[in-house]
Amino acid sequence: MAADKQTLQQKYPLIKKYLPFFLIASLCLLPIISSPIALILGFTLASLGLVPANLDIASLTKRLLSYSIIGLGFGIHLQTAISATLDNLPLILGSIFFTLVLGYLLTKALGFDAKTGLLISTGTAICGGSAIAAVAPAINAKSEQSAIALATVFILNSVALFLFPALGHLFAMSQYDFGVWSAIAIHDTSSVVGAASAYGEEALTTATTIKLARALWIIPIAIISALLFGGDKKKIAIPYFIGCYCLAIAIAHWFPQGQSAYQAIFELSKRVLVLCLFLIGAGITVSKMRAAGAKPLMLGVTLWLSVGTGSLLYILYV
């Protein structure tokens, strides 16, 4: 009994120190905290050293993000998903090809490490951290190469979460057009969903559908990358949650009698995504931002501005 009391006394300072982290994480599941605020809160706690050191944030975020995206599938109509994907297929394919080619040329021009350049280009072209995680093992990328690419993408994701909704309102974009634009021009699925949900329900549905249609291109891009860099095609990390997301849409379509349950799952998934953004913020530290360095950021920002501006002009004027 005395030993248990002593152990509790030893743990009490740690419990007290990390209490704000768990409290804010819980509040992210309530409507009182928006996606951008969640990201800021996470980054603030990380900067103050109030994030539990033994918590594998990257793994937890990846798992929760996968579950929440699958849950969003229950709130998306099958016909809407098909039409949004087919209507924007030229833009999806064109943006991927354009980003990868420009990334290759800029990497050469900057005299930058080819593998890191490919990871940043792939993350920009397809779906941020998920694409980097899938391609990195296929090309035998070193951990520091993956870390630099991830840091670059995460920094730009954070900016996009605040910038895109403001620009959408500035250009008086419709819900549908903003959903298309955010899906094409924002890297990570979490930030796409965060920005789109802040803009509106239709924007969220459109953005999620198109973003995951883009994410399907992880597999062929990873295989081609493995061939170019002499890597191992067997090491490709396939994002299975995309298939589960499609299955969720199909279930909601085939069994409409469960509509009330599907809507509840959809709403819960949106809140879990806010929690994911809090965790992403908690994983971004000043040291990671410094580690990105000048050249990776130059490459990342140039690619991001190019695809963002190009896709915006296409959506508004074509």
The string of pLDDT tens digits covering residues 213-241 is: 888 787 788 788 877 776 666 666 666 77
Tokens standing for 216? 């399907």
Which pLDDT score, from 0 to 100, does residue 16 have?
Answer: 66
Q: Give the whole-angstrom CA distance, residue 227 versus residue 217.
A: 16
Percent of the chain's residues with pLDDT above 90: 32
Give the per-residue pLDDT at 166: 94
- Tell me the H-state helices in the chain: 2-27, 35-47, 57-73, 78-87, 89-110, 114-125, 128-138, 143-170, 175-185, 189-199, 201-215, 218-228, 241-254, 259-283, 286-292, 294-317
Domain spans in the chain, listed from the N-terminal domain onward: 1-317
Those residues whose C-beta lies under 8 Å from the C-beta of residue 257, and which sit 6 or more positions away, are none
Per-residue pLDDT reduced to its tens digit, 150-206: 878 888 888 898 899 999 999 999 999 999 999 999 988 888 988 998 899 899 989
pLDDT of residue 165: 94
Q: For residue 155, what pLDDT is reported?
A: 82
- The CA distance from 195 to 139, in Å, is 31
- Token readout for 86 is 């087919």
Q: What pLDDT is recorded for position 6? A: 46
What is each CA distance from 31 to 26, 99, 163, 283, in whole angstroms? 11, 36, 21, 22
pLDDT at position 24: 93
**Taking a C-beta distance cutoff of 8 angstroms, is the pair 183, 192 a contact?**
yes
Three-class DSSP labels, 16-28: HHHHHHHHHHHHC
Cα 272 → chain centroid:
13
Please report the pLDDT score of residue 289 as a whole number.
Answer: 62
Which stretches of the chain score pLDDT less than 50?
1-6, 8-9
Supply the pLDDT for residue 315: 93
